[in-house]
Amino acid sequence: MKTKEFIYGNHCFDYELIRQNRKTLSLTVRPDLGIVVKCPDYAEDNRIDQFLKRKWFWMVKQLRYFEKYQRKIYRREYISGESFMYLGRQYQLIVRKGDDGISLIKGKLMIDTSKSVSNGQYNKKLINDWYLNRAEIVFKQRFEEVLQGFNYDQPPELELRKMNKRWGSFLGNKKIYLNPLLISTSKECVDYVITHELCHVKHRNHDKKFYAFLKSKMPDWERRKEKLEGCLY
């Protein structure tokens, strides 16, 4: 992988170029505004430039899309009044004294804490532990249900793994990994990520066969993917 420069008119972008044993080119714009191009091992620079020019409007659209959501990032203090997402819904945080515990009550994320209600670090720990526990339960349920739509003789196992740039991953070692942060998105987005990774069991690359298989398993996958891309890591 190496960093390359793409100039188009008055615009200049850096992108990561990854050469692989593949036949087609692909373009990805990450939520951190990183641009990644994957190409065949011996693809010429001119072919890559022409590909980027064809993808220009889509690339700019994606960059603007993620820039809009980056502006919403702020430093959390984990005190009453802040908002948190869980399974696609927004909840207002309420912190109160009591035995340690978290519950959802009428649009509120209620934290009972044995420490001071203003102890942001401890509140953060309680929330993160709760999110992780909920992710383990919900992802297992969704995985088992989605898996029923596949006829794999030896289905992969499910594990949770923190990832900086991915919601999910299938590494070819009979395991599917889901990012615990996915618990903040809706169940239909969770199902999309699981379905996407389960399709990789049969088709490792993002080629036409993969997308045809994904379409057969989830006809509205593009809508779900677009919805997922609006979520923050």
C-beta separation of 107 from 122 below 8 A: no
Amino acid 167 reads W
- 142 has a pLDDT exceeding 90: yes
**In the chain, ranges of CATH 3.30.2010.10 domains:** 139-229
Q: Residue 149, Cβ neighbours under 10 Å: how many? A: 12
Neighbours of 50 (CB within 10 A): 12
Nearest to 9 by CA among 63, 45, 56, 44: 56
CB atoms within 10 A of CB 14: 10
Instruction: Residues 139-229: name the CATH superfamily.
Output: Metalloproteases ("zincins"), catalytic domain (3.30.2010.10)
Q: What is the mean pLDDT of the chain?
A: 89
Angle at 205 between CA 203 and CA 209, to 5 degrees: 55
- pLDDT, tens digit, 9 for 90 and up, residues 26-66: 999 887 788 999 999 999 999 999 999 999 988 988 888 77
% of the chain with per-residue pLDDT over 70 = 94
Quote the pLDDT of residue 165: 73
Dihedral angle, C-alpha 52, 57, 60, 62, nearest 10 °? -100
Strand partners for 178: 160, 168
The percent of residues in the chain predicted with pLDDT above 90, rounded, is 64
Question: For 168-191, what is each residue's pLDDT tens digit?
Answer: 998 877 899 999 999 999 999 999
What pTM did the predictor assign?
Answer: 0.69
What residues does 7 pair with on adjacent strands? 12
Beta sheet of 157-160, edge-to-edge order: 157-160, 175-178, 168-170
Q: Are β-strands 83-86 and 89-97 bridged in parallel, bridged antiparallel, or unpaired?
A: antiparallel
Q: Say if residue 70's pLDDT is above 70.
A: no
